[in-house]
Structure 1
Amino acid sequence: MSTATAGRRIPRPASAPAGRRPGYGRYLLELVLIAVAVVFLFPVYALVTLAFKTPSQIADSPLSPPTSPTFDNFGNAWSEASLGSALVNSAIITALSLLLLIVIGSTGAYYLARCVSGLGYGLYVLFLLGIILPFQLGMIPLYKLVDSLGWLGTYQGMILFYTGIQMPFTIFLYTGFIRALPPDYAQAALIDGCNHRQAFTRIVFPLLRPITGTVIILNAVFIWNDFFTPLLYMGGSGKETVPVAVFSFVGQYVSDYGLVFAGLVLAALPILIIFLLLQRYVIKGFAGGIKG
């Protein structure tokens, strides 16, 4: 023993309490998480299982694994409900709406985040009110507006609707992220001779990749899965989106649930792929970091 530690009492590690297993709390937490995962995965299991069954198999044992899986439901769902054209319609509406939300939302949020006047704060509060108030309150005026523009049953009517409805939420996400960024990057660009537009597009916007991924995922899921608005604005136009097309399988007296669930599986695949590609940006975007 060295002279520095001589005479000093070295504390011993405390022993585990008698009658208690080490790691018991950890095992209990794992069991709870497994149970929660089973609860969340059960609807996915039911969806995929029913998609591969015939109507007779669904009637006999709906939740048992399919003994003889059939792929006819997917082919019939693609042809009978015109699911291919519905996927194209949903893709066009979703992609163009996201483009406008990203361009307008990021630009407006940059001004709100860097503006120190009362006007900027007032506009930001106004956008927050747009998140709190449900858009169903304005469905009738919005419908009349789109009808007066002659945009019922058109892509631009749906794109205008989704851009306006989701803009407050997009502004909220972008503003919080930009406020967490140091302003030195844009100021350095301004000193080097760039104007505000060039400083934003060349310096600030590339740093917004995490929150842009979050904006894409959250808005795409809402737009892609929305049923009521396309039914109201696009019903009978021949440009129905995927949820409206799948709904055509359900009738008042007859419902082919095999086709319904096969259509749901096909409809969920594109948005699932987007989520898997961009999921790492969700946490980064909410955390407010600048690493992409």
Structure 2
Amino acid sequence: MRRTFALEIVMVAVAVAFMFPVYALVTLSLKDPGQISRSPLSLPSPPSLGNFGKAWTAAALGPSLMNSTIITAVSLVALIALGSFAAYFLARARSRWGYGLYILFLLGIILPFQLGMIPLYQLVDRLGLLGTHAGMILFYTGIQLPFTIFLYTGFIRALPREYASAAQIDGASHLTAFTRVVFPLLRPITGTVLILNAVFIWNDFFTPLLYLGGSGFETIPVSVFAFVGQYVSDYGLVFAGLVLGALPIVVIFLLLQRYVIKGFSTGLKG
């Protein structure tokens, strides 16, 4: 009994430690400069929503939000389509070269992409995709594909082969069996793939700064960074801009968090 109570106390303390930055972020975004200087961590009295409107206009978050949405959404579609189909082949392949190809994809997870940042930048530049949505989508699809294949392969290996075999006996091709039988069963791991990749792509700062800087297609993190540097003395505006930049991905995570847990618990055991 005492041990359980002690564990509960520890978990509550950990939860408070994790929630405190979120509390400070939201609280400061709802205060005017006078309230921040008098009592920065107290509850806003009264709360002010004016910072959000000013931050939205001053940081030009509208175009940045659209750029982030386009890059993230198209990259996710490409990752789910390519990753799931490639993982289906690798999970069902019985040959040695199929297993070797799977190991090669795993190396893409282990090796940091920063090692190839300069050659990748030169390649995108030579393709004429520097400063474009297409260049970023191509980059994120390539970088995150090994991780996506890893997640899908573990889940597919846990699925009985009889599902696809029955469809093929009825005359379905491998592609038809995958799209109509196997892929609908991948919903839990697809949710996991979606949210983990979305968080990475949406929050990435260095790559968009390098590939999109000065192009007019900057994403949310790059725009918020420039905004913070310009309004660093007005903490209310700064924190309001941070909240607006993080809010979309937080909402998506809250909606899909159950798929993350379900996908890991079901798929990685395979």
Residue 214 of structure 1 pairs with residue 192 of structure 2? yes
- Residues 47-97 of structure 1, C-alpha deviations (whole Å, 9 max, x = no match): 001111223432333222222322121011111111011111101000000
- Equivalent residue number for residue 11 of structure 1: none
Q: Is the 8 A contact 2:232 2:238 kept in 1?
A: no
User: Aligned runs of 1:18-29 on 2, under 5 Å?
Assistant: 23-29=1-7
Distance in 2 separating the partners of 1:254 and 1:209: 43
Pick aligned residue for 1:95 from 53, 64, 73: 73
The equivalent position to 1:261 in structure 2, one of 223, 234, 239, is 239
Please give the alpha-carbon distance, in whole angstroms, between the structure 1 residues aligned to 2:128 and 2:251.
35
Does the alignment pair 1:58 with 2:45?
A: no
The 5 A counterparts of 1:21-40 are 23-40=1-18
Aligned-residue offset at 1:28: 1.3
Moved over 4 A (4+): none
Q: RMSD in angstroms over aligned alpha carbons? A: 1.4
Cα distance, 1:253 vs. partner?
9.0
User: Percent identity at matched positions?
Assistant: 74
Q: Which shifted more, 208-217 or 231-240?
A: 231-240
After TM superposition, give the deviation of residue 254 of structure 1 in Å.
4.5
CA deviation string 1:184-225 (max 9, x = no partner):
000011100000000000000000000000000000000001
1:233 correspondence with 2:211: yes
Q: Deviations over 1:10-69 (max 9, x none)?
A: xxxxxxxxxxxxx22221111111111100100100100111122343233322222232
SS of 1:250's equivalent in the other structure is: helix
CA distance in 2, matches of 1:47, 1:203: 45
Deviations 1:92-125 (A, max 9, x none): 0000000000000000000000001111111100
Equivalent residue number for residue 168 of structure 1? 146
Query: Comparing both chains, which one has the higher relative contact order based on Cα–Cα distances under 8 Å and sequence gaps of 6 or more?
Result: 2
Structure 1 residue 251, shift from structure 2 partner: 2.5
Q: Determine if the alignment matches structure 1 residue 248 to structure 2 residue 226.
A: yes
Choose which of 118, 127, 130 in structure 2 pairs with 1:152.
Answer: 130
The answer to whether the 8 A contact 2:31-2:47 is kept is yes
SS at match of 2:218: coil
1:200 to 178, 182, 187: 178
> Which region of structure 1 is more displaced relative to structure 2, 261-270 or 234-243?
261-270
Unaligned stretches of 5+ in structure 2?
A: none
1:282: how far off? 1.1
2:99 aligns with 121
Is the CA contact 2:231–2:237 (under 8 Å) kept in the aligned structure 1? Answer: no
How many angstroms apart in 2 are the aligned matches of 1:136 and 1:255? 33
Contact 1:153 1:237 (8 Å CA) reproduced: yes
Q: Give the TM-score normalised by structure 2.
A: 0.95
Verify the 8 A CA contact 1:47 1:261 in the aligned structure 2. yes
Contact 1:110 1:178 in 2 (8 A): yes
TM-score by length of 1: 0.88
Q: Equivalents in 1 of 2:239, 2:231: separation in Å?
A: 18
Greater per-residue helix proportion: 2
1:150 Cα deviation (Å)?
A: 1.1
Q: Which SS does the other structure have where 2:228 is aligned? A: coil
Deviation at 1:173, TM superposition (A): 0.1
Unaligned stretches of 5+ residues in structure 1: 1-22
Q: Is 1:185 the equivalent of 2:163?
A: yes
1:132 and 2:100 aligned = no
- The alignment covers a number of residue pairs equal to 267
- State whether residues 249 and 256 of structure 1, in contact with CA within 8 Å, keep that contact through their aligned partners in structure 2: no
